[in-house]
Amino acid sequence: MLCVALYACNNEQKNKVAIDGNKKNIAKKIIVDTIKKQYDTLVVEKESSTQYKINDSLNSISQIIAGSYPVEDKHFSFINHNTDFKIFSHSFTQRWLKFDSTRLKALRLFQGSVLGLKIPKSQTLFYPFSGPDALYFTTFFPDASNYVMVGLEPVGSLPNFTKKEIDSVGKYFNKVNTSLSAILNYSFFRTKSMKEDLRNEDINGTIHLLLLFLHRLNNKIVDVLPVSLDTLGNKVYHSKTKRNQDKASAIEIKFLTAQNKMKQLTYFSFNVENETLKRNKGFLNHMKQLGDFSTYLKGASYLLHNSHFSNLRTIILENSNAIVQDDSGIPYKHFESGWSTEFYGDYEKPIPMFSKYYQRDLDSVWEVKGTKKLGFGIGYNFRDKNSNLMLAVKQKNKR
């Protein structure tokens, strides 16, 4: 009986130890899981707060330029009490809503039904002779994360909106309105007009309209930095304290899209004619670093038809996986071998000032190969029935 009692007692103690041990293990696991969950949460919060940090001041400036500064924003609260700003804000907002519901709607439809399906995916979009047009190519190429623009117009400096100078902003907003007329009405910036519109004491460069378009396309500004290129093609970032000095040959804008994607746009200000381009080793090497890219050409003054722009033409043809252009871009004869081409809209003779650039071979192939509906006006022949676009995709075995 004693043996049975001792056995029962020992067995009961073992069971108790086992149960207590299990409880401790369960408790330990709960603690470990809780700590891990808290740690993971902290990591996620840290990543989300550091990865996409909006610059409130720059974002506010872009909102003011675009005429949509929110009442609840406190950075420049005095702006909403300014009569000139109120007038600009109301008129331009109405103008933009009409533009967005008509022209932009057609561009997005074309992108979704044509370009988005037929253009090889590329991280980089190259847009020479762009001026400050961040409107069309970001709409046509929304999947790119790196936009490279080149134009003659200066970078300029950020406007200085202060309470002290708020009474003089009326002239500034009038200049913004004037500089937007061509692209909103005709789809392109006129070179002659930009010499005046983007080179004055109020609007001294492309930075103003770049920020305006980015904001109106529902992006948030993360940073704006003056940059230049070293001889190897690497970007050299200048001090933020020099942000308002018009000395940089380029500007880099980092922005966050409505889909929470981080992107960057770099605008280079210089002449890409052969002799100038040849001396710009930094830019030539920078283009090599980009790898395969897509190219967009619109309202390009037929410059790539000329021999003194042949170096840039070669860079585009050798490194682009796809090119979207109107007839003012690269002559059709350069696409007869190694490229598959599709045509949209109607090819008409160039407007009188560019009449010598009529392409008989393009006209013929346009008729023979057939064309598809474009649905919107673009380029120098901006009326819908006269506009044209060519989509050229490089054949893989021709690289």
Among the three residues 51, 69, 95, which one is the final residue of a domain in this structure?
51
Same domain, 350 and 328: yes
Q: How far apart are CA 148 and CA 291, in angstroms?
A: 13
List of residues 6+ apart from 309 with CB closer than 8 A: 272, 273, 274, 303
Residue 10 lies in a domain: no
- Percent of the chain exceeding pLDDT 70 equals 77
27 and 153 together in one domain = no
Q: Is residue 112 part of a domain?
A: yes
More confident residue, 297 or 194: 297
The mean of the pLDDT values for the chain is 81
Whether residues 281 and 329 share a domain: the answer is yes
Q: Which residues pair with 294 in a beta bridge?
A: 125, 322
Average pLDDT estimate for 248-273: 93
Looking at the domain assignment, is residue 197 inside a domain?
yes
For 28-69, how does the pLDDT look when each residue is reduced to its tens digit (9 = 90+)?
A: 444 334 333 433 433 333 333 346 789 999 999 999 999 998
Structure tokens at 134: 């961040």
**pTM, to two decimals:** 0.82
Same structural domain for residues 46 and 57?
A: no
pLDDT of residue 80: 84
Looking at the structure, tell me whether residues 34 and 71 fall in a common domain: no
What is residue 50's predicted lDDT score, i.e. its pLDDT? 43
Residue range 253-264: average pLDDT? 95
Which DSSP state fits 101? I
What separation in angstroms does the CA of 114 have from each of 217, 227, 249? 21, 35, 35
| Same domain? 113 vs 26 | no
In a domain, 11, yes or no: no
pLDDT of residue 183: 58
Indicate the residue among 51, 68, 94 that finishes a domain: 51
Mean pLDDT score, 94-110: 91
Segment 272-275 long-range contacts (CB within 8 Å, at least 24 positions apart): 272/128, 272/129, 272/150, 272/309, 272/312, 273/308, 273/309, 274/307, 274/308, 274/309, 274/310, 274/311, 274/312, 275/308
How many structural domains compose the chain? 2
Confidence of residue 377 (pLDDT cuts 50, 70, 90): confident
DSSP symbol at 343:
E
For 28, the domain range is 22-51
Question: Rounded to an integer, what distance in angstroms lies between the CA atom of residue 300 and that of residue 324?
Answer: 12
Q: Residue 285 domain-assigned?
A: yes
Q: Are the C-beta atoms of 303 and 311 separated by less than 8 Å?
A: no
* Residue 8 forms part of a structural domain: no
Domain assignment of residue 385, yes or no: yes
Q: Verify that 40 and 161 share a domain, yes or no.
A: no
Asked if 204 contacts 157 with a C-beta cutoff of 8 angstroms, the reply is yes
394 plus 326 within the same structural domain: yes
Same domain, 370 and 315: yes
Residues 29, 113 within the same domain: no
Do the Cβ atoms of 285 and 233 come closer than 8 Å? yes
Q: Is residue 188 part of a domain?
A: yes
Give pLDDT tens digits for 381-397: 877 677 899 999 999 86
Task: Answer for the pair 179, 212: CB distance below 8 angstroms, yes or no.
Answer: no
Instruction: Work out the end-to-end distance of the chain between its first and last CA atoms, rounded to an integer number of angstroms.
Output: 94
- If asked whether residues 180 and 310 sit together in one domain, one would say yes
Q: Could you give the residue ranges of the DSSP H alpha helices within the chain?
A: 2-51, 56-65, 83-99, 105-110, 116-118, 136-140, 169-186, 191-197, 207-216, 274-279, 281-289, 310-319, 360-369
Do residues 160 and 290 both lie within one domain? Answer: yes
